[in-house]
Homo-oligomer: A and B are copies of this chain.
Amino acid sequence: MFYDCEEIESSANGLGRIERELPDWLDADLAILGEPTAGLIEAGCQGTLRVVIRTGGTRAHSARSWLGDNAIHKLAAVLDRLAAYRARIVDIDGCQYREGLSAVRIDGGVAGNVIPDAAAVTVNFRFAPDRSPEQALVHVHEVFDGLDVQIELTDSAAGALPGLDRPAAAELVGAAGGVVRAKYGWTDVSRFAARGIAAVNYGPGDPNLAHTRGERVPVQQITAVTEVLRRYLTV
């Protein structure tokens, strides 16, 4: 099944359209997403959420800074927690899911002579699929607990457990040589996981090169993946 618009807003995702209009097409024992995985089975996927963490203060002329309350200075405590954060590494079905809590944007300031009354840092949490988005958000609130900040959730998407104990998945893993690793990043496997269908990422091409100028696919990986899929589907 080929579909379009997987990389933009999820409302445009072609698989979502199939799910809404022709859900029967998605009934299956196993979904294989043709993601670039360097020819290895990459199981499940991380979840992701983003929050904007805002600080407030009081504007003043910077020549009289003691009359103000500097919102940028209050981000110090937020960044301290991020810099000190030690991300969890979780083993699920033999797949190692690494989490990450990262500032991806920061901004604040009014003018070169003004103590700013607002500043914000956007934080992206990539979480292992043993947490739901709701649990992940609770965790983010715990990380910044006690700080004088406002936390606004701006988007989130569930991860997917590897589901390798399902017979159809185990057979494919066997056909592919038994090597499995965790998928980093969010993919449409989570859509199948939400429907109770085992799903893995499997395809030629190095995921670390995706979206870069160096993006390319070795022919031998195309051949190998084709052979594995043919063997798996015809046995």
Contact = CB atoms under 8 A, between A and B. Distances in A.
Looking at chain A, what size class is its interface with the partner chain?
A: 35 or more
Interface string A126-144: 1000000000000000000
A3 interface: no
Contact of A82 (B73, B101, B114): B73
Interface in A160-187: 184-186
A62 interface: yes
8 contacts: A48-B113, A64-B100, A72-B104, A73-B82, A73-B103, A105-B112, A112-B122, A113-B124
Q: Is the contact region of chain A dominated by helix, strand, or loop, or is it mixed?
A: mixed
Given A75-B79, A79-B79, A124-B113, A62 B100 contact: yes
A138 B48 CA distance: 44
Nearest to A50: B112
Interface of A: 46, 48, 50, 61-66, 68, 70, 72-77, 79-80, 82-83, 87, 98, 100-116, 119, 121-122, 124, 126, 184-186, 208
A136 B185 CA distance: 47
A122 B62 CA distance: 12
B119 A65 contact: no
A87 B108 CA distance: 22
B65 A100 contact: yes
Contact of A104 (B64, B74, B103, B116): B116
Nearest to A103: B72
A190 to B, nearest CB: 13
